[in-house]
């Protein structure tokens, strides 16, 4: 697989959508690893890339991938957990301090949901629901990931 074919394959993984925020990818998009890629020097002195397999590569919009890069750490890319924590941190510290944001809450234009951040590639839309029986009705079931409740409807 050449570079171009590899890019096309990665693009199609999520049908042209960003694996993190789910936005449709524009002409410019980035490849972002699930587990950060590392470059190591072997005992023999060869340079080897770890986690560089195509299975580890996700399509990402420019904005998501750039916010995953830690400028202060030699442009290292964050793990997914760290990325989520940093997104939450910037919403808490930057967005919520903004007087216009507070105003928009008071006017009811924005409603906070307290939802956890779930990346698009982890979402029920991509991976399917994780149904559990609720014990409420015979055929009422609940998704353990997104809390959707529905009848199993046979």
Is residue 124 near Zn ion by the rule CB under 5 A?
Answer: yes
For residue 48, the cross-strand partners are 40
Residue 69 burial (CB count, 10 A): 15
Q: What number of chain residues touch Zn ion (CB under 5 A)?
A: 11
* Contact by Cβ (8 Å): 37, 56: yes
In the complex with Zn ion, the residue whose CB is nearer, 23 or 31, is 23
Span from 4-12, 51-59, 80-88, 121-129 in contact with Zn ion (CB under 5 A): 121-129
Binding mask 51-90 for Zn ion (x = CB under 5 A): ----------x--x--------------------------
Residue 31, interface with Zn ion (CB under 5 A)? no
Q: What is the DSSP string of 28-97?
A: S-EEEESSPPEEEE-TTS-EEEES-SGGGEEEE-HHHHHHTEEGGGTTEEPPHHHHHHHHHHHIIIIITT
Rule CB under 5 A: say whether 13 interacts with Zn ion.
no
Binding site for Zn ion (CB under 5 A): 18, 20-21, 23, 61, 64, 124, 129, 143, 145-146
């Amino acid at each position: 697989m050449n570079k171009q074919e590899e890019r096309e394959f990665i693009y199609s993984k999520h049908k042209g959508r960003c694996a993190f925020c789910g936005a449709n990818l524009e002409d410019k998009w980035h490849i972002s690893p699930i587990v950060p890629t590392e470059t190591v020097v072997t005992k023999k002195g060869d340079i080897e890339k770890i986690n560089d397999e195509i299975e580890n590569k996700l399509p990402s919009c420019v904005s998501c991938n750039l916010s995953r890069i830690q400028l202060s750490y030699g442009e290292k890319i964050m793990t997914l957990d760290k990325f989520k924590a940093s997104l939450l941190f910037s919403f808490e510290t930057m967005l919520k301090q903004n007087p216009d944001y507070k105003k928009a809450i008071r006017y009811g234009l924005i409603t906070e949901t307290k939802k956890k951040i779930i990346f698009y590639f982890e979402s029920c839309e991509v991976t399917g629901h994780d149904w559990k029986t609720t014990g409420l009705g015979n055929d009422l079931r609940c998704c353990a990931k997104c809390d959707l409740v529905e009848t199993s409807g046979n």
